[in-house]
């Protein structure tokens, strides 16, 4: 390991390398099937329309969309975001929307507002690795709370808060991804949602609800937003990355009243204003394009891919494995039997020309050694089936070393 430069702060050591980037090189080799990155498939995005709309916007409104813009985002986009959220049955107020450069930035500034260095926060076990990078860089103590097939477990949350209180630690926030969770693919049961909100409200813990995948449900369904259950205690993060294009870098926070002004100031001091050109494209997509149709089509394609991967993989799994069954989003999570390690499997998988992300990076320190995340969003059903076949060969090779 490199010795950190003495000019660098302790906090700077907290930023984590992305485990997706760790397998990036292997995934770029010719012929490799990647089940690693959580990338949307941009063949499902309206690229022709985006090309025309960009040219038109620059030609007709160049002096506006290439100029600095409002610190909290354009009024037009904030209205469009309210409409997009309404399509997911989430009610929000345009005045409470802060537009950001992707929801990653929203998480970063919300964390700055809610947490001091050394504070404790609660997250799901496992959780989105990009969030762990934000929390590491902010110098936070991260407590992972167990999940099951129905998402975060309310009793476990209550117990953890009680236990921490005994140590004189009050968590400063709960970070949760209730819908089609990254990396586990599970969804918080409707019956648990009011309980989670109530437990946190009673304990004085604000919730950060991260929902980039909620619109990509495989079956139409209503998922109650935690923000809607308690708009004054829950900050909602949304994104155009998975339902339009991540390269536009447009996300947002729907914030409680008390957070709006500090959030805008924190955002302005980070990026001055979110990109007006990207915002205008995102607003046009909602206002003048069939965004509902495009997203519904994408969800149907992702569903077909999830099924293709599952059907090909299940018969090949080592006895005693567990594979989550997502009902939307991009990911499924595999737990291998006792005695197996994901890192040994990854070496064998790379030899077989298939890659995935080992689970440990998403979990509490020391956990996740026999778990892994598989993304089905990017490859075709045929390639996913072939990827599963190659994983099957990797299982066979690794089984020999487990038995040895
Ligand atoms: C749970 C979660 N939150 C946030 C993000 C970041 O999204 P954005 O591109 O909007 O910054 C991702 C991206 O993979 C994600 O999976």
What is the CA(162)–ligand 1 centre distance, in A? 30
Residue 246 near ligand 1, beta carbon < 6 Å:
yes
pLDDT at 37 over 60: yes
Residue 238 near ligand 1, beta carbon < 6 Å:
no
What is the CA(3)–ligand 1 centre distance, in A? 31
Residue 38 near ligand 1, beta carbon < 6 Å:
yes
What is the CA(53)–ligand 1 centre distance, in A? 25
Atom 16 of ligand 1, nearest CA residue: 182
pLDDT at 223 over 70: yes
pLDDT at 244 over 60: yes
Residue 14: predicted pLDDT: 86
pLDDT at 19 over 80: no
Atom 6 of ligand 1, nearest CA residue: 104
Residue 251 near ligand 1, beta carbon < 6 Å:
yes
Q: Select from 81, 132, 239 the residue to mutate for testing ligand 1; criterion: most ligand atoms less than 8 Å from CB.
A: 239
CA distances from 233 to 75, 192, 226, 262, 357 (A): 24, 17, 9, 15, 33
Secondary structure element (H or E) that encloses residue 97, with its range = strand 97-100
pLDDT at 403 over 70: no
What is the CA(268)–ligand 1 centre distance, in A? 21
pLDDT at 42 over 90: yes
What is the CA(39)–ligand 1 centre distance, in A? 10
Taking only the tens place, the pLDDT of each residue in 283-329 is: 999 998 899 999 999 999 999 999 999 999 999 999 999 999 999 99
Instruction: Find the mean pLDDT for residues 16-24.
Output: 78
What is the CA(10)–ligand 1 centre distance, in A? 26
- For the CA of 105, the nearest atom of ligand 1: 11
Residue 28: predicted pLDDT: 86
Instruction: Find the mean pLDDT for residues 359-364.
Output: 94
- Which residues 6+ apart lie within 8 Å of 81 measured at CB? 92, 94, 97, 99, 238, 252, 254, 286
Residue 177 near ligand 1, beta carbon < 6 Å:
yes
Distance CA 135, CA 108 (A): 8
Instruction: Find the mean pLDDT for residues 217-244.
Output: 96
| C-alpha atoms less than 13 angstroms from C-alpha of 173 in its C-beta half-sphere | 22
Q: Select from 73, 128, 131 the residue to mutate for testing ligand 1; criterion: most ligand atoms less than 8 Å from CB.
A: 128
Residue matched to tokens 């205008």: 280
| Band (404; pLDDT cuts 50, 70, 90) | low
Distance CA 253, CA 234 (A): 10
pLDDT at 1 over 80: no
List the structure tokens of 205. 């813990």
Beta bridge partners of 374: 332
Distance CA 143, CA 208 (A): 15
Q: Walk across the sheet containing 371-375 and list its strands.
A: 322-323, 331-335, 371-375, 357-358
What is the CA(91)–ligand 1 centre distance, in A? 21
pLDDT at 20 over 80: no
Residue 102 near ligand 1, beta carbon < 6 Å:
yes
In contact, 264 and 273? CB cutoff 8 Å:
no
Where are the strands (E) in 149-283, listed by range? 151-152, 174-176, 207-210, 234-239, 251-254
Residue 10: predicted pLDDT: 87
Taking only the tens place, the pLDDT of each residue in 99-128 is: 999 999 999 999 999 999 999 999 999 999
Whole-model pTM: value is 0.96
Taking only the tens place, the pLDDT of each residue in 160-196 is: 999 999 999 999 999 999 999 999 999 999 999 999 9
Residue 40: predicted pLDDT: 97
> Mean pLDDT in the chain?
95
Alpha helices in 39-127 (DSSP H): 47-65, 75-87, 102-114
């Amino acid at each position: 390991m490199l010795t950190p430069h003495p000019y660098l702060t302790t906090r700077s050591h907290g930023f984590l390398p992305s485990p997706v980037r760790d397998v990036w090189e292997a995934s770029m080799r010719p012929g490799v099937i990647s089940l690693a990155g959580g990338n949307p498939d941009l063949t499902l995005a309206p690229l022709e329309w985006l090309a025309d709309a960009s040219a038109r916007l620059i030609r007709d409104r160049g002096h506006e969309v290439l100029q600095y813009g409002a610190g909290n985002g354009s009024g037009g986009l904030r209205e469009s975001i309210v409409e997009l959220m309404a399509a997911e049955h989430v009610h929000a107020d345009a005045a409470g929307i802060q537009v950001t450069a992707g929801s990653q930035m929203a998480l970063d500034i919300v964390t700055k507002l809610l947490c001091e260095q050394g504070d404790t926060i609660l997250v799901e076990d496992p959780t989105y690795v990009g969030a762990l990078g934000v929390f590491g860089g902010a110098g936070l103590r991260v407590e992972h709370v167990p999940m099951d097939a129905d998402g975060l477990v309310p009793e476990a949350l209550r117990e953890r808060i009680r236990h921490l209180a005994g140590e004189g630690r009050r968590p400063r926030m709960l970070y949760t991804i209730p819908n089609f969770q990254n990396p586990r693919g599970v969804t918080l049961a409707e019956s648990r949602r009011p309980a989670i909100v109530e437990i946190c409200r009673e304990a004085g813990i604000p919730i950060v609800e991260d929902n980039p995948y909620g619109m990509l449900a495989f079956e139409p369904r209503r998922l109650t937003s935690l923000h809607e259950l308690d708009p004054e205690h829950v900050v909602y993060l949304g994104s155009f990355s998975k339902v339009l294009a991540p390269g536009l870098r447009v996300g947002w926070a729907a914030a409680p009243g008390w957070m709006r002004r500090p959030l805008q100031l924190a955002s302005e001091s980070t990026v001055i204003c979110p990109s007006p050109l990207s915002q205008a494209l995102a607003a046009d997509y909602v206002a003048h394009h069939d965004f509902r149709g495009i997203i519904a089509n994408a969800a149907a394609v992702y569903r077909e891919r999830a099924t293709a991967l599952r059907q090909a993989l299940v018969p090949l799994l080592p006895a005693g494995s567990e594979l989550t069954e997502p009902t939307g989003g991009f990911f499924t999570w595999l737990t291998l039997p006792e005695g197996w390690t994901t890192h040994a499997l990854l070496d064998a998988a790379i030899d077989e020309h298939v890659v995935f992300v080992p689970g440990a990076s998403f979990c509490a320190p020391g956990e996740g050694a026999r778990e892994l995340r598989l993304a089905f969003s990017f490859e075709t059903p045929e390639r996913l089936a072939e990827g599963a076949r190659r994983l099957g060969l990797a299982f066979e090779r690794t089984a020999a070393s487990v038995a040895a």
